[in-house]
Each structure stands twice: as C-alpha cells, then as structure tokens.
Amino acid sequence: MKSHILGFPRIGSQRELKFALEAYWRKTCTETELQQQAAAIRLRNWTLQKKAGLDYVSVGDFSLYDHVLDMSVVLGAVPARFRSSGKFTLNTYFDMARGNAEAGIAAMEMTKWFDTNYHYIVPEIEPDMTFHYSSDILLQETTDALQAGFNPKPTMVGPLTYLALAKAQKGVNKWDVLESIVEVYGELLEELSEHADCIQLDEPIFCTDLPDEIRDRAEQVYAQLRDRAKHSRLLLGTYFGGLKENLELTARLPVDILHIDLVRAPEQLDAVLEKWPRHKMLSLGLIDGRNIWKSDFSTLLKTVEKAKQKRETDQLWIGTSCSLLHAPVSLEAENALPPELKDWMAFAVEKCTEVKTIAQIAQGFHEEQRLAENVASIKNRRTSLLAVDPAVRNRTEQADAGMCRRNRPFAERKKCQQQQLNLPPLPTTTIGSFPQTREIRKIRKAFREGLCDEKTYTRAMQQEIHSVIQEQEQAGLDVLVHGEPERNDMVEYFGQQLNGFCFSQYGWVQSYGSRCVKPPIIYGDISRSGPMTVDWITYAQSQTDKPMKGMLTGPVTILCWSFVRDDLPRKTVCRQIALAIRDEVQDLEKAGIGIIQIDEAALREGLPIRKDEQADYLNWAIESFRLATSGVSDKTQIHTHMCYSEFNAILHAIAEMDADVISIEASRSDMELLQAFEQFDYPNDIGPGVWDIHSPRVPTVAEICGLIQKALKVIPKEQLWINPDCGLKTRGWTETRQALKNMVNAAQAIRNTL
C-alpha cells in the first residue's frame, strides 16, 4: 500500500523563498543565489517527506512563482509581448507574472485556483502561437532527486485542466491547440519515464462541470500520453470535489492510478469502487490538504477497510486530498499555541506522517501507540469546552431575516447619502490599505514584542494615518481611507480581536509569488469583545473634512481566509462572524462615520466548483453579508470590495448583497468583467478597478481614461466610481503617488467630457 502526497509547500518553513525572491527583485541577490536557495528548499522538502516514511517524494510541486505559469513556460506558451528580446530568461518569467514597469509591459492575468486562496497566472492562447518543449526544469528536478537518493514522483498540471483554465486572445478557439499542447506533454512524459516509475498529472477539472471539448477528447488525449510515458505509471490526480457524472469517462481513461478527494467528496467512494477498473490502482485522498486539523484515524481506517473489501491491499494508495500547498509547513516550532489547541492540529510535515501511519495501520503494522494517541486527541477536542459559547449559539439562532434587510431600497438610500456626502460624478477612492513601509512593520513588531509601550505605538500609527491623509488630499481623492498601518493582515487583524480564534507564529501559506498569508485558526464560537477599529477611524476622520471610509473585512472573507473548525457547518460559523461584524458596523455609524466598507474579497473564491452546489452557498454567504451590514440607517453608505476572481456568472448574487457601492478587480483583464454588464443591469453603484496594483507598473493617464471610457459604455455615469483594483499594501510610495495622481487626473478629464 503506497503512501504519497500530491504536493508540498514551496515557500520554506521560514518563508525563505519569499525573502530570496524579493531580494532578487530588488537586485540585492543574484540569480545564482536565488537558485541555490530554491534548491535548498527542494532538498529540505524531499528530506521531510522521506523522513515521514512516504514511498515517493513529490517533484515539480516547487515553483519560483506559480506552477501553472511554469507549465506555460514548458509549453513555450509565452505571449508575444514578452518575446521582444528573443531570449527567454528568468526575468522574462517574472515579467509574465508581474509585468515590466520600465518596458511598459502588462503582466498576465491572475485569478484564483479553483475555490482556494491561491492565485495562478492565467495562460494566454494567442493567434499563431506555436508550442514546443521549452524547459527541462521538471526533468532536472527529477534527476536531482534521484541523485540525492530519493524516489521521485514528478507532478504537473494536466493538459485538459491547463487548457480549460487558459484564456483565448483575439478570437482564438483555444481548444484548437490541444493537439499541439499534448504533443509537448508527450515529449516531457517520454523523458520523465526514463527516470520515474510514476508520473502525476493533476486534472482537478474532472471535478467540475466538464466542457464538451474535454468530454469529447479526453480519451484520445490520454491514449497519446499513455503511449509516450513508456516506462512509467500515470497517476490521474482529481481533487477539490467528486467526479460524479464524470466518473464513467474517467474510468475509460488509459491511466494506471486514479486519485480521488475523499475529504471534499467522501460519498464518491462507493461509486468509484464499483466503476474504477478492478485491475487498476486507486489512491485514497484521506488526509485534508486544505486545513490544519488532526485526522481522525479511527474514521479513516473504516474508509480504508471499505476499500479493501473491493481491492487488494497493494492496489490501494494512501495520500492527501490535494497538494499540501494550502497548508503551513510544520507545527514543530509553534510554541506559542495553547498546548490543548496545538494537540488538535497537523501541518504539512505532520500530515505526511499521518499518511504513512494510516497506510501502516491498514496493512497490519503495529502502531498501537500512535493510534491510541490519536484517539485520545480526537476525544479531547470533541469534549472540550474551549470551543463552545452558549450565548453566541443562542444569538446566532435568534437572528432572523428582518436583520438582513436595509430599511429602504437603494435608489432612496442613494438620495440620502448624496445629500450628506455631496460627491462629484465619477468619485475617486482607494480600496483601503496604503504602502506598509519598513518603519511601519518595525514599530508594529516592537509593540507586539513589548519593546515599546501602547502610547508610543498609538502616536506612531496616528502620525502615519495623518501622513496618508495628506497624501490622499494632495492627490485629490474624493473619499479617503486611513491606510490601515495598524493592520498586519486584513483577516488576522480582526481575528486577533475576536473570541474563538487562535494564531500560529509560522503558519504561512503562499497566496501568490512572494505573497504569503498566515491564516487565523477558528477553533471555537465567535464573538466580539469590544470595538476593533472605531478609535483609528474616528481619529482619521478628525484629520480631514473629506469623507472617511471605515474599513472592515466581511464575514465570508474571514471564513474563507481562515483555517475553519470542521465540527460545525461553515454557514453557521459565517453567521457567527457576521453578527460580530454587525456590532462593529453599528459602532462606526454611532461614531459619525458615514461610509463603511466591508470587504468580501473571497466571496467568489468560496463558490463551489459544481454549479448544482452553488445556489446553497450563495444564499447563506449573501445572507451573512447582509446580516453584517443591514443594521445601519439609510444615510450610511455601505461599500464592499472583491478581487481576482471570475465574477460574471454570479453578478445576480452580487446584486443581492445590496451594497451601495461595490469595487471589483477589472484592469488586469482589460475590463473583461464589463461584458457581463451588457447582459445584466446592475442596480447599484460600482467601481471596476482601473489600476492593477499587483504589478509595479504605473498606468498612464491615457490608459486609465481608456478603461473609464470602456466602463461608461455599459455603466451609467451616475453609478460609476473610480478606484484601483485592490489595496495598496504591497506597493511602494513612489509608484503609489504617481498612479493615484494619474487616476485622479484621468477621472477629472473624463468628468470634463460628461
């Protein structure tokens, strides 16, 4: 019974990759030094997997930025705008991901990887694009692992998922290039098969509603790949859901091993055992790759026993549900966690051990002590009173539909709000955060570690807020923000002030590139002890006569960007968070703040990948947002923000949120979002982003004017706001000042034409 994982975190236990990347981008680290750090992380990852006793180490799961972008490079799918210099270099790779400010080259689009908070670089299929085997990095890493004494299992995004996620440019039918892409995959598999006895092709697209192009051609594609992978078994990795109606198609594919996600879709096991060919192997994804809770061995062993009734032991593999990319690296150094809570958890290293332990016990090896320890830990968690607050549960049950509705419809509210705010046409604002400088991080760290007192810290934050307000006034923005210097992260900041949360010290997870987040851990019932933002926002408002936005994170985003308890339904946890945020919204209104933004950046991310499961999610997610935001008067303007996801299909649900103003990512996709507004009459105000803040490149006034003019073709001028795509936390002040100035000047230029 083989034990394996689908992938390991690539950032390093202390975020070594992040710091090496950022040093390289600052030109304080050479390419050689960066590659040396990358090699050291890979070696450490392989060593950890082998030490856990896994039969394979995962190779190809490492990336300097994104594994989908890596596949584009392997295929030679480099858009023309990045090929002007002729030779492909590491800098070309980073230009594709981040853009090139000096050369005026826009980055490739970035969006969420299925329903996770990981962002991938969207492949572009251009007219006349030719595909050829262009990078042997996966082969090199495989041979490196072999030479170092490991048994490698190369892994890559499968061709059908890759092309399904790609975007066609200029009228191209992207499926026309499938044959060319499969040929390159074939070359790669042929080379890898000389060095690895198993190759993993990730096809999570099989857990979605398949397009006809895949349904019609999948068997042919995999027949070609099977022929080329001469000496290797092919493992088809499916995850993030169940195969459902795609099971019969999957069962016909000429692959040797099928991996299924039994965390997200445990109910699929019976059907898979019945329909997956009996002579082929089956990999059971039992260990949750997307959460941090210790596995219940007793329950999982029952699942394995069910599988053993239909399969020989050596036909079964034990693995994680998906890649451990979505989990922190190791629990070992987490000494600040309360011991009782820490005992309930498992990070990536511990999950590798869990995989091996389940495989050992299932084969009759004597692991009585580990099993007994696991049983005791699971029992302790189930019976602990740490997770239960009767007052919170009672309040959640008592919340009714009337608490989820504003007093009057939007059109009437807007009149009240405009009388109070007196905003010009096309009002300008930002999303919330401003650059987090080294000085800000330094004083925040000093306060956190007790090296400065609260008075000193407060004074420093107020000075920063005052400075940010001056910057915004000089830029000419209409609605200001306080810049959020006191916040380390938009979810962690609130979690630290809410009951029911705990926090790791080193539980970092990659979001994209060098951007890492440290998700809060929701272990218990959630409530607010007192105001969380009121003092900072009221101070900011006292420094300006212009309207100041209160800035909060919404309940769905706090839920999606946390590691959530798995002993309550997610919608119940979300409702608890909504009530806590509702209290804060009402306190801000009482303090005289007339505009309050409650960000729901993750609303689309939480959407199930199956259409038949989406309505239920949207119902409780939208209801939670409205529960958080509907306790204010008509004159209080509620904003929300969403970023980096495909929103077109759920605009009707976004409208149901009934936010007075929504800001949404749009510039990186060149306002592609606006196509949806041609068919859908969005009722409230909206600010499609006009500046891609995830690239260091500063857009020109002309570019921003062009985006505004595109927006005005489908959005009435009375409903249109002008803003960046997202917060400015990761940007530097030089580019921020210029981009904001350009944005305001563009808005004024368009106003003059109205």
Q: Say whether 327 sits in a helix, a strand or coil.
A: coil
Distances (CA, A) of 550 to 97, 433, 440, 626, 628: 32, 12, 20, 17, 14
What's the angle, vertex CA 485, arms to CA 482 and CA 490, rounded to 5? 90
Q: Packing angle between helix 454-475 and helix 733-751, nearest 10 degrees?
A: 40
DSSP conformation letters of 41-104: HHHHHHHHHHHTT-S-EEES---SS-HHHHHHHHHT---GGG-TTSS--HHHHHHHHH-BTTTT
Is 190 one of the annotated binding-site residues?
A: no
The annotation status of 326 as a binding-site residue, yes or no, is: no
Check the annotation: does 15 bind a ligand: yes
Q: How many whole angstroms separate alpha carbon 120 and alpha carbon 99? A: 15
Q: Which long-range contacts (CB under 8 A, 24 or more apart) does 393-402 make?
A: 393/525, 395/579, 396/572, 396/575, 396/576, 396/579, 399/575, 399/579, 399/627
Contacts of 747 (CB under 8 A, 6+ apart): 426, 428, 704, 708, 722
**Token representation of residue 745:** 């000047």
**Residue 433: which of 389, 477, 483, 394 has the closest Cα?**
483
Task: Collapse the DSSP code of 749 into the 3-class scheme (helix H, G, I; strand E, B; otherwise coil) and give the result.
Answer: helix
Check whether 241 is labelled as a binding-site residue.
no
User: Binding site annotation covers 112?
Assistant: yes
State the residue for tokens 């929504």. Answer: 662
Which residues have C-beta within 8 Å of that of residue 468, sequence separation ≥ 6? 434, 481, 482, 483, 485
The separation between CA 310 and the C-alpha centre of its own chain, rounded to angstroms, equals 37
Q: Give the separation between CA 754 and CA 292, rounded to whole angstroms.
A: 54
605 is in an annotated binding site: yes
What lies within 8 Å, CB to CB, of 599 at 6+ separation is 431, 432, 490, 551, 552, 553, 554, 557, 640, 641, 642
- Residues 633/589, Cβ–Cβ less than 8 Å: yes
Nearest-angstrom CA–CA distance, 398 and 708: 45
Q: Determine whether 694 is an active site residue.
A: yes
What is the Cα–Cα distance from 49 to 67, expressed in whole angstroms? 20
Main-chain phi, psi angles of 114, to 5 degrees: 55, -125
414 assigned ligand-binding residue: no
613 is an annotated ligand-binding site residue: no
Q: Please provide the distance, in angstroms rounded to a whole number, between the alpha carbons at the two ends of the chain.
A: 70
* Residue 484 counted as an annotated binding residue: yes
643 is in an annotated binding site: yes
Integer Cα distance of 556 and 654 in angstroms: 13
Establish whether 487 is an annotated binding residue. Answer: no
List strands edge to edge, sheet with 281-287: 2-3, 316-320, 281-287, 257-261, 233-237, 198-202, 152-157, 57-59
Measured from the Cβ of residue 116, the count of other Cβ atoms closer than 10 Å reads 19
* Alpha-carbon gap, residue 325 to 236, rounded angstroms: 18
**Closest by alpha carbon to 370, among 353, 383, 349?**
353
Q: 198 among the known binding-site residues? A: no
H/E stretch holding 36 reads helix 31-51
Q: How far, in Å, CA of 363 to CA of 578, rounded?
A: 46
Torsion of CA 507, 512, 514, 517, to 10 degrees: -30
> Is 515 annotated as belonging to a binding site?
yes
At residue 59, what are phi and psi to the nearest 5 degrees? Answer: -125, 140
Phi then psi for residue 687, to 5 deg, are -125, 90
User: Does 486 appear as a known binding residue?
Assistant: no
Report the distance separating Cα 723 and Cα 746, nearest Å: 11
**DSSP one-letter code for 386:** T
CA torsion sign for 427, 433, 438, 441 is positive
Just list the catalytic residues: 694
Annotated binding site: 15-18, 112, 431-433, 484, 515-516, 561, 599, 605, 641, 643, 665, 726
Annotated binding site for L-homocysteine: 431-433, 484, 599
Annotated binding site for L-methionine: 431-433, 484, 599
Annotated binding site for Zn(2+): 641, 643, 665, 726
Annotated binding site for 5-methyltetrahydropteroyltri-L-glutamate: 15-18, 112, 515-516, 561, 605
